[in-house]
Structure 1
Amino acid sequence: MLFGKWNWILLLFNLAIAAVLFFLSDQQNLLSLINSIFYVSFFYFIVAMLLFVIKGRVLDGITRSFRKFGKVMSKGMLDFEENGAPSEWVNRSFLSYMQFQAAVLIGLMLILLALFYLI
């Protein structure tokens, strides 16, 4: 459920973090608020993109190669296949939480940035 209760609670928590960063800054103006929201949204954007790449099975082949190499180097004494592929580690609901937070925070930041340049 993309628009669940936990998404909105986490969004309010993120906005509270951005507000704390805003009030801790030297100046309290619109640009400082935009920067504060950027700091929080950048974290979510990077984590969401990293999880998206992992979930897209990009790293599975590389991981499989390193595991085969490790098995050859240890002469079959260690079994590296027990952890599964990295794409199986990523939970879809956690990825959707991260994507939702990043999208809403970046959207809010862009709206405020448009207001900043229009004023």
Structure 2
Amino acid sequence: MFGKGHFILLMINLVITLVLFLASDEQSLLTLINSFFYVAFFYFVAALLLFVIKGRVLDGITRSFRRFGKMMSKGLLDFEENGDPSQWVNRSFLRYLQFQAAVLIGLMLILLAIFYLI
């Protein structure tokens, strides 16, 4: 289901999290949880933004802005050449980001459970 690239990027993300953890002033479980949050938040927001774009929410708005721009330029410029924003998003890249976000958030939640149980 998920290829070797997913796990290589996951290991890179874990190294980035470890670097953030070790670069902090205080090394504690809470700092590790915060480091996971910083990395996971980036993936979550990026995946959420691409999910909204892929869901064709912005296609109508983009189409109307292009029509308005074409009308204002009196047909001199062609704004239709780029396609709809939903066509720009690659579905496999979106799944890639969702996988990274889900794993990092899952690890963060496990660490939060350990933090509150101790």
Q: TM-score range by the shorter chain?
A: over 0.9
CA offset digits 1:21-78 (Å, max 9, x no partner):
0000011110000000000000000000000000000000000000000000000010
RMSD of the TM alignment (CA)? Answer: 0.5
The whole-number CA distance in structure 2 between the counterparts of 1:24 and 1:99 is 27
SS at match of 1:35: helix
Name the counterpart of 1:19.
Answer: 18
- Aligned-pair CA distance for 1:113: 0.3
Name the counterpart of 1:62.
Answer: 61
TM-score, normalised relative to structure 1: 0.98
The whole-number CA distance in structure 2 between the counterparts of 1:55 and 1:45 is 15
The whole-number CA distance in structure 1 between the counterparts of 2:40 and 2:16 is 11
TM-score, normalised relative to structure 2: 0.99
The whole-number CA distance in structure 2 between the counterparts of 1:6 and 1:34 is 25
Q: Identity, % of aligned pairs?
A: 78
SS at match of 1:109: helix
Name the counterpart of 2:83.
Answer: 84
Tell me, which stretches of 5 or more residues in structure 1 are unaligned?
A: none
The whole-number CA distance in structure 2 between the counterparts of 1:29 and 1:17 is 17
The whole-number CA distance in structure 2 between the counterparts of 1:20 and 1:97 is 23
SS at match of 1:65: helix
Name the counterpart of 1:6.
Answer: 5
SS at match of 2:76: coil
The letter of the residue matching 1:4 is: G
The whole-number CA distance in structure 2 between the counterparts of 1:62 and 1:15 is 38
The letter of the residue matching 2:39 is: V
- Aligned-pair CA distance for 1:95: 0.3
- Aligned-pair CA distance for 1:81: 0.1
SS at match of 1:79: coil
